[in-house]
Amino acid sequence: MEAYKKKIFGGKNKALTFSYDDGVTQDVRLIEIFNKYGLRATFNLNSGLLGKSGELVREGVKISHDKNKAEDIKYIYEGHEVAAHTLTHPSLPKIKDDGEVIRQVEEDRQRLSELVGYEVLGMAYPGGGVNCDGRVAELIKNNTPIKYARTIGVTHSFEPYGDVYQYKGTLYHHGDWEKLFETGQRFLELEADTPQVFYIWGHAYEFDIYPERWAIFEEFCRMMGGRSDIFYGTNVEILGKTN
């Protein structure tokens, strides 16, 4: 862990990053907020589902789950990172065929790379519950160029999680909503002697369950942005340095 003795985030020890899944149309509004406050994020897309229309019911509320179109991906996510989320969003641990696990990840990665014009190197595991395991993580690590893969787990800690192929973030913004500002303030006040990462993940469509949270989240972003001691980066920019 020798690397943790030096400042590895552009001469800083504190890094803030966000990660959002599914490539939904609500990402456009979210990106506008991030851009306004100089924040950077990673968006995990299913290339086999781009352009698909749909709805979800969450907490008794019907919300849009429309996916952005393939031809719009490059400009929508410009300035942020596009990462893999598998072709069609299956539960990877339930797929017994190792080759199909690899195909779901690698074909998605390749298609997205073509759309954005750079090599996609990250991913988030799709689905809830146990959405990854050691077998799946090893298949991805050993058979694809993927450099990190995020789970749905959270640590409520700023210490970089040790396993970048089963990475756990700090907070899930929807499930940990009440802790968002408290944790953010704690990060702002932190005097870091070693690299510390505040990693927030979720789904942009979840803001539509409680529409007032869009404005509240923008206030959070305003609070977190513009700090000289924080590196604002995408997942690959940050996790690639802690690996």
pLDDT band at 232; cut points 50, 70, 90: very high
Q: Could you tell me where the beta strands, DSSP code E, fall in the chain?
A: 14-21, 41-45, 55-58, 61-64, 81-84, 122-124, 148-154, 167-169, 171-172, 196-202, 230-232
Which of helix, strand or coil describes residue 40?
coil
pLDDT band for position 6 (50/70/90)?
A: low
Q: How high is the mean pLDDT of the chain?
A: 95
What average pLDDT does the segment 190-199 reach?
96
Find the mean pLDDT for residues 29-55. 98
Question: CB–CB of 224/180 below 8 Å?
Answer: no
Q: What is the pLDDT, as a whole number, of residue 2?
A: 43
Full set of structural domains in the chain with CATH: 2-242 (3.20.20.370)
pLDDT digits (tens, 9 = 90+) for 114-137: 999 999 999 999 999 889 999 999
Q: What is the pLDDT of residue 3?
A: 43
pLDDT higher than threshold 50 for residue 180: yes
pTM, full prediction: 0.96
pLDDT above 70: percentage of residues in the chain:
96
- How many other CB atoms sit within 10 Å of the CB of residue 154? 18
For 219, counting Cβ atoms within 10 Å of its Cβ (0-12 exposed, 13-18 middle, 19+ buried), the class is exposed
Tens of pLDDT, residues 67-122:
999 999 999 999 999 999 999 999 999 999 999 999 999 999 999 999 999 999 99
- Mean pLDDT on 156-184: 96
Digit-coded pLDDT (tens) for 208-224 = 999 999 999 999 999 99
